[in-house]
Each structure stands twice: as structure tokens, then as C-alpha cells.
């Protein structure tokens, strides 16, 4: 895909209230051929918290990825706009964390973080499956790609069981467990939805708040966004059900 960037007809991006979500939204709009339809799902549709950043009004009522009614309303909204072309790309970026150590971790933290980081992407993916299938079929015989039909789960290297990175810096058990579970969800989605031509991957954007020590992730949000969008432009069928980082490197589960 090289320099022409990520070319995709329609995108739904959750968690656009700030940080990476807002960065990805701007990055998508700045692609050489930006999406015809971009659905930016925010917790705060009025944008009170987004300051004065010059971004479009979010066009999606997906206030809460843990609320099935909110998700259903978003599906109806997207369906009304995209029609039979379906939805090409779902980016599950909604995420939360609670700072914790093994000594201080609680059932409440675990439940809260799991509900948003793991159950949220599951429910959103299930609900948008019919529209993703439509997109996969609408594009005819083309190979699997993010331009055709894909689910991208924004994960974290902190969820890699093999790497178990940055243990000294942040234990954050609830976050690590939720992202490890999200990675398993990615694999399950790939096994099931892949048969319909929908590509499913986990991506570590390297951009965590508060940041880890030097050298562990991109220096800036812009670098993270550029890297992630470049990666998405290059993914194909052989990458279905895999885990990548913002540098375009394959990560171990």
C-alpha cells in the first residue's frame, strides 16, 4: 500500500474522546483519500471535554460500549448512512484502566476494566457483524484487507503473556488481564468472521497514559497514529488473527 495511505470507504472508531482515539480520527481524515463515512463514537457527543481541537462533530451515538442499547442505536445510525455498502472498518479503541499492583488489585477494578476493554469490543463486533459482512460481500472477490472488511482491536503489549513487559513500571493487573483476554477475542473473531472475509487483528499503539519509560513506545501520539494507519494499510489475509505493534512488528501473544 506504500505511500497512498489507508483508503477505506467507511470507518467506525470507538473511544474518540481524546488521546489515541482523537489522534486516529484526525489521522484518518488526513489520509490522501479519507473515508467517505467516518463514525466517531464518543462518550461525550457534545465535545465538552475535547477542548478547542478542530475535529468534526462525532457522528455516532455510541455513548457506551458496555451498553447494548447504545450499540444498537449506533448500528442503526451507521446502517442508515452506509446502506448496502456496509461498514468496512471497525476500530475498537474504547479502553480504560485503573492503576494497581497485585497487592492492591480489587474485584471492582477487574470487573470495570474487563467490561470496557473486553466485553465492549465483543458486543460491538457482534452488533456490527451484519454490516461488516455486507462490506466484505460488496467488495466482491478482493483479498482480505482493512479496506474491504476488518475489525481492529486496540490492545497493548502489556497484555502479552510471553513478553510481560514493564512489570516494574506498572503492574496494572486489571488492564493486563483485560488486554490478554481481548487478544484471545481477536483470535476467536478471526477464526469465525475470517470465513466471511473479515480480517481481525490486535494492535498495540505503543501509546499508553501515563507513558512508560523511554524507548518502550512512540515518543509522540502523532508517531503512534502514523504507524498504526500505515500498518492497517498493509494487512492482508495472512495476518488474520495476529498481534502487531505500531512499528509494523509482529508481537507474541
Contacts of 241 (CB under 8 A, 6+ apart): 186, 187, 189, 190, 191, 194, 200, 201
CATH code, 10-245: 3.40.50.720
Domain assignments of the chain as residue spans, ordered by start: 10-245
pTM of the model: 0.91
Contacts of 203 (CB under 8 A, 6+ apart): 152, 153, 154, 155, 228, 231, 232, 243, 244, 245, 246
**pLDDT tens track for 15-72:** 887 889 999 999 999 999 999 999 988 765 554 444 444 455 545 656 688 889 989 9
C-alpha 147/C-alpha 88 separation (Å) is 6
147, 6 contact by CB (below 8 A): yes
The backbone torsions φ and ψ at residue 38, rounded to the nearest 5 degrees and listed phi first, read -125, 120
**pLDDT tens track for 163-214:** 888 888 889 999 999 999 999 999 999 999 999 999 999 999 987 665 666 6
205, 219 contact by CB (below 8 A): no
**pLDDT tens track for 58-107:** 456 566 888 899 899 999 999 999 999 999 999 999 889 899 999 999 99
Distance of CA 7 to the CA centre of its chain: 17
Amino acid at each position: 500500500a506504500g505511500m497512498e495511505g489507508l483508503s477505506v470507504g467507511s470507518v467506525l472508531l470507538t473511544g474518540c474522546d481524546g488521546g489515541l482515539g482523537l489522534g486516529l480520527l484526525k489521522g484518518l481524515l488526513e489520509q490522501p483519500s479519507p473515508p467517505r463515512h467516518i463514525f466517531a463514537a464518543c462518550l461525550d457527543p457534545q465535545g465538552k471535554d475535547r477542548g478547542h481541537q478542530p475535529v468534526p462533530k462525532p457522528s455516532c451515538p455510541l455513548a457506551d460500549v458496555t451498553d447494548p442499547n447504545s450499540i444498537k442505536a449506533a448500528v442503526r445510525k451507521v446502517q442508515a448512512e452506509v446502506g448496502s455498502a456496509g461498514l468496512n472498518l471497525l476500530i475498537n479503541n474504547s479502553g480504560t484502566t485503573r492503576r494497581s499492583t497485585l497487592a492492591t488489585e480489587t474485584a471492582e477494578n477487574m470487573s470495570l476494566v474487563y467490561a470496557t476493554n473486553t466485553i465492549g469490543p465483543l458486543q460491538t463486533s457482534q452488533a456490527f457483524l451484519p454490516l461488516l459482512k455486507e462490506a466484505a460481500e460488496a467488495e466482491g472477490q478482493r483479498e482480505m484487507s482493512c479496506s474491504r472488511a476488518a475489525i481492529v482491536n486496540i490492545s497493548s503489549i502489556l497484555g502479552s503473556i510471553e513478553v510481560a513487559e514493564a512489570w516494574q513500571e506498572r503492574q496494572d493487573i486489571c488492564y493486563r488481564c483485560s488486554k490478554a483476554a481481548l487478544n484471545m477475542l481477536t483470535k476467536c473473531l478471526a477464526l469465525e468472521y475470517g470465513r466471511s472475509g473479515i480480517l481481525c487483528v490486535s494492535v498495540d499503539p505503543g501509546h499508553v497514559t501515563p507513558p512508560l519509560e523511554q524507548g518502550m513506545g512512540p515518543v509522540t501520539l502523532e508517531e503512534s497514529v502514523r504507524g498504526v494507519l500505515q500498518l492497517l494499510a498493509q494487512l492482508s489475509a495472512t495476518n488474520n488473527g495476529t498481534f502487531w505493534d505500531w512499528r509494523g512488528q509482529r508481537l507474541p501473544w
